[in-house]
Amino acid sequence: MTLERPNLSIDGLMAELMALAQISEAEPPVVTRVVFGEADMRARAYVKGLCTEAGLTVREDAIGNTFARWDGSDPTLAPIGTGSHIDAIPNAGLYDGCVGVLGGLEAIRVLKKLGFKPRRSIELVIFTAEEPTRFGIGCLGSRMMANVLTPEQALALRDKEGRGLEEWRAQAGFAGPLESVAVPNGRFYQFVELHIEQGPYLEQEGLDVGLVTHIAAPASQRIVIEGEGGHAGGKLMPGRKDALAAAAELILALESAAKSTGAIDTVGTVGICDVFPGAVNSVPSRVLITTDVRDIDGARRDRVLAALADTGNDVSARRGVKITTELINADPPTTCDPAILAALEESAVAAGKTYRKMVARAYHDSSFVSCIAPVAMLFIPCRGGVSHRPDEYASPKWIGRGVHVLSRTLAHLAE
Ligand code: HGY
Ligand code: MN
Ligand code: MN
């Protein structure tokens, strides 16, 4: 299909991205939008309104995964999916996830304007809770669609205040059996997610888009270290069981293990460190840390987890502290589909865009959609590779090029 694209402006899309960014729990330009919170619900309503205006049929599943469908001429065929997430971690930017949702919508609008008629339906998806902020696990919506997270496991999830998924989704107005969220294999014929790179390479190399061949394997843990509290003055150093000093050894051990695999693809992060009682003059008796370890190579990642466990055993024995480790998730890496990558490459060439193949170091909903359909991802540059910060930025030019390649690819796959 020749998609001679008139010089369609993306001013509308940029305005929508900026409008969505105003819907935040924090003062703009900071974006915070935690799943099922008031801002998340307003953001969902805003995007659903845009989808309806675009003539798409919108429906939501029992936990709020949202599907906006452009019916194809052959409804018996499984649809082509695209989409991402609009929830955002605290102190985030406005492009992570949202470029894939609003950019996916724009790609559909462009095809409609060009008079394209899809044979396969095209479905834009807004996944619930791609970010782990509320329940501690990422990709809640896509995991449940793929049944990687079962309804029983989902029911056991709690937020910091002990509130569970049932309470939150009911408050958000989502109902229906959790079993209904899982979808059969082949629910999508193919799935393509547009996303900012969340890394520096495309900008550094002056390339327009990235074709993602693999998505890193994420693993996260909750580790509680229990020692002995006491008066910071009266409790002498010999025999102390300082939970935070023990945690510090674990944190440095994680960093050292991730650095020493010899591979740049191995990353390890401790993003949360809750100290109890958290008083300046009291020896910490209990500390919660979370670990986030990723690698393109799952076995290499697991070796980092094993090294951390060994250090934990040593620290526990030496310092007389109790260390309890709960594995939250340890997912395999994702291999993207060669046929979709070929379509992306053909579209990039046809659109006259420069590109490279690359890996995704963040995880994405595509990681779990890959359990029920072939997937691939299309990256656009983001300034300095910065993400998960308010200064996250992708230029209108970068976004427009991504939407252009995505629209061509969707047409290619759906015709
Ligand atoms: O953490 C991630 O990789 C994603 O941004 N949630
Ligand atoms: Mn993110
Ligand atoms: Mn994201």
Answer yes or no: is 2 within a domain. no
Tens digit of each residue's pLDDT (9 = 90 or more) over 157-171: 999 999 999 999 999
d(CA 188, CA 318): 53
Whether residues 198 and 345 share a domain: the answer is: yes
Answer yes or no: is 3 within a domain. no
User: pLDDT at position 10, please?
Assistant: 86
Which of 32, 131, 193, 197 to mutate for ligand 1's pocket (most ligand atoms within 8 Å of CB)?
Answer: 131
Distance from the alpha carbon of residue 135 to the mean position of ligand 3, in angstroms: 16
Tens digit of each residue's pLDDT (9 = 90 or more) over 364-393: 999 999 999 999 999 999 999 999 999 999
Whether residues 337 and 316 share a domain: the answer is: no
Distance from the alpha carbon of residue 350 to the mean position of ligand 1, in angstroms: 31
Whether residues 282 and 397 share a domain: the answer is: no
CATH code of 389's domain: 3.40.630.10
Residue ending a domain, among 330, 356, 383, is 330
Tokens, residue 64 = 């709020």
Answer yes or no: is 6 within a domain. no
Tally the domains of the chain.
2
**Atom nearest to 361 CA in ligand 1:** 3
Task: Tell me the residue range of the domain where 386 lies.
Answer: 11-216+333-414
Answer yes or no: is 222 within a domain. yes
Residue ending a domain, among 308, 330, 352, is 330
Answer whether 136 contacts ligand 1 (Cβ < 6 A).
no
pTM, full prediction: 0.93
Whether residues 59 and 100 share a domain: the answer is: yes
Whether residues 283 and 387 share a domain: the answer is: no
Whether residues 120 and 182 share a domain: the answer is: yes
Q: Could you tell me where the beta strands, DSSP code E, fall in 342-411?
A: 355-360, 375-380
Whether residues 188 and 58 share a domain: the answer is: yes
User: pLDDT at position 3, please?
Assistant: 47
Whether residues 324 and 259 share a domain: the answer is: yes
Whether residues 87 and 178 share a domain: the answer is: yes
**Atom nearest to 131 CA in ligand 1:** 6
Residue ending a domain, among 285, 302, 330, is 330
Whether residues 124 and 164 share a domain: the answer is: yes
Whether residues 174 and 290 share a domain: the answer is: no
Residue 5 pLDDT level (bands cut at 50, 70, 90): low
* Amino acid occupying residue 96: D
User: pLDDT at position 9, please?
Assistant: 77
Q: 311-332 burial, b if ≥16 CB within 10 A, otherwise e?
A: bbeebbeebebebeeeebbebe
C-beta neighbour count of 391 within 10 angstroms:
11
